[in-house]
Chains A and B, each alone.
Chain A
Amino acid sequence: MTAKQQNLERFVGSDYPHGFVTDLETDSLPPGLNEEIIRQISARKHEPEFMLQWRLKAYRHWLTMAVPKWSKLHYPPIDYDQIVFYSAPKTSADGPKSLDEVDPDILRTYEKLGIPLHEQAQLAGVAVDAVFDSVSVATTFKKQLAEVGVIFCSFSEAVLEHPELVQKYLGSVVPYSDNYYAALNAAVFSDGSFCYVPKGVRCPMELSTYFRINSLNSGQFERTLIVAEEGSYVSYLEGCTAPIRDEHQLHAAVVELIALDDAKIKYSTVQNWYPGDKEGKGGIYNFVTKRGLCRGRNAKISWTQVETGSAITWKYPSVILQGDHSRGEFYSVALTNNYQQADTGTKMVHIGKNTSSTIISKGISAGHGSNAYRGLVSVGRKALNARNYSQCDSLLLGELCSAHTFPYIEVKHPTAQVEHEATTSKISDEQLFYCMQRGIPSEDAVSMIINGFCKEVFRKLPMEFAVEAQALMEVSLEGCTG
């Protein structure tokens, strides 16, 4: 482990010993979960009655559910009585006062990733107001979006200001009964993002920079809902390549996307949460339910993800291809180093006629990392002429890591065309030696090979993020070669 990783760990992991202990601040609820807690959460957010009722239904359903055990992940049981399910967004009083107080190694990492200075301060948890006026920037973006009719706000705000839209679409793609973590999220979700793009509107900007600034305090049970009306287009970027100060170990987010006729949604994620230390201690457990519904004819939903962080990643961004001629895409790079585990993939559910889907998954394992691709391609009884192409490639670095591929294919219509290709390769000492003999230093050689391996996916990322993603691979693999 390099000094940088140690520092990262110290930085990101510094608050974990306290994070799980009851840390009663004025605006926190006691740990554990019961109906009273849920009522309190809803009350503090001044939610309308329908929200409270939905949360309670979700909670009651969650109580009847069992923790899913089918993944390749190994982790100790989570004690939900120890988790604080509501605490008001923290002020940064306990954080550093200025960038001068931030660990220089962290700053160097930010620099390598090309994070602008004002955002560095945000990410490092520096008291924001002193450095950067996020409110005014947010206002500028909002004005620009409002001019074309795009609603983009926090979920809490949407519940208060656009309850009819929330009520109409919330849970319409991922019902609260969907799975254990989705039910938990529905019961206790703290905040998240809401985006509504009206008919025929092409969202004038990547919803990214704005989101990055606002994502900081959205917490561990995030909920995102994006609705693209007929003929509209939106590109949405979630996450950040930089390690973000985070005090929660368990994250259970839900993302719902709805695309109507001829609408297109492009959703890109870069996830780089604290992965735990070299021995596998600590690190974030990330249990996410992401699903898109191509409800209209000719709708398209595209997921692109670069997952390098978290101790555990459990995530299957999926597309339900309900509208005729609709199209789903999934492009993924998942990297596991040290003791990280990832069980990730997608589901493409073909229901309408002439639907098509593409899956490109690249898994990279290093150290003791374990990387599993798990994907389902399902072609329903009425899905005439469905097509799918899947490609799952795994790359191994070293002797102790592992890669697994679990493709499930269910076809119920004779006209379906489903293709699946899978490869496993390895970066060998011989390859590194060969590159180094040509003058390429070993770490550059590793990142050259990795970037070559991932380029099909990186190409799908918005431009500025593709560059950051490449740098991120280098940072994430630092110290894994001799």
Chain B
Amino acid sequence: MLQITNLHAQIQDNEILKGLNLSVQAGEVHAIMGPNGSGKSTLANVLAGQEEYRVTAGSVHFKGTDLLQLSVSERACEGVFVAFQYPIEVPGVSNVQFLKTALNSQRKYRQLDELDAIDFLQLLKSKVQEVGMEEQLLYRSVNEGFSGGEKKRNEILQMLVLEPNLAILDETDSGLDIDALKMVAQGVNAFRNTGVGKERAIILVTHYQRLLNYIKPDFVHVLFDGRIVRSGGPELALQLEEKGYTGVIAEEAAGS
């Protein structure tokens, strides 16, 4: 589904991704772990199409098309979703209206009929329960005055409503207490389980193994200095927990 080949990207004159390769198939959950500054968030932003990041070499193919040629909203409509580490507040626009506009923009792009208010609300309310969000938050302005946990839950809610093919969760676990973390994980698992048989994959970008206790990845990758230096199964995350990034990276360097 997603094929990243030799990706180089920089912000201003700072090269951050230095030849990243990654292949994700439908149905898979990949965890990308790495220390601060290794390029995890850059990867999420480059895939989303954030303008500040400039791709200098390499390619990204998504469902067979050249993702880098598409605009930000086209990528979203093609099915790329990023749950942000720091979700933005949009004052004056209610959560309900925001989600309805987003969903209908995507449906229009895919040449589907737009949902009317009644059908949309019905869909929305069923999803709200899955992330355990208070319904009144739907009528507040997007993320405005939300707590950290509420913002993250709101990201997951958006994911459940928009049903992307590829969901990239950028440090969704950061700043969450254990209850909020469980709720978020429950939402992600719901997304994963209802996606069986559909074109659906997840990339979890995270610092900590903690999240992986609740969302079991198929693959774990270690990102260091703009490249994936090691890949493995879930056991790799446990090794990281035990030996730290420096330990695992040093081991890798010694081994190769």
Contacts and interface: CB of A to CB of B under 8 A. Distances in A.
Interface string B102-146: 110110010000000000000000000000000000000100000
B105 A440 contact: yes
A438 B92 contact: no
A434 B73 CA distance: 10
A437 to B, nearest CB: 5
Interface of B: 48-51, 71-73, 75-77, 81-82, 84, 87-94, 97-98, 101-103, 105-106, 109, 141, 158, 162
Interface residues on A, range: 20 to 34
A441 interface: yes
Contacts of B75: 437
A243 B158 CA distance: 39
Given A448-B97, A452-B97, A441 B105 contact: yes
Contact of B93 (A428, A433, A436, A452): A452
Q: Which of A431, A434, A436, A439 has the most CB of B within 10 A?
A: A439
Contacts of B103: 439
A448 B91 CA distance: 11
A444 interface: yes
17 contacts: A431-B89, A434-B88, A435-B102, A436-B71, A436-B76, A437-B48, A437-B82, A438-B76, A438-B98, A438-B162, A439-B73, A439-B106, A441-B105, A448-B97, A449-B90, A449-B92, A455-B92
Contact of A444 (B48, B91, B105, B158): B105
A452 B105 contact: no
A421 interface: no
Given A436-B72, A439-B109, A452 B84 contact: no
A439 B102 contact: yes
A79 interface: no
In order of increasing CB-CB distance, the 4 nearest A-B pairs are A452-B92, A438-B102, A439-B76, A452-B93
A362 to B, nearest CB: 10
Contact residues of A: prevailing secondary structure: helix
Contact of B77 (A433, A439, A453): A439
Contacts of B50: 433
Contacts of B81: 437-438
A433 B49 CA distance: 9
Nearest to A395: B92
Contacts of A431: 88-90
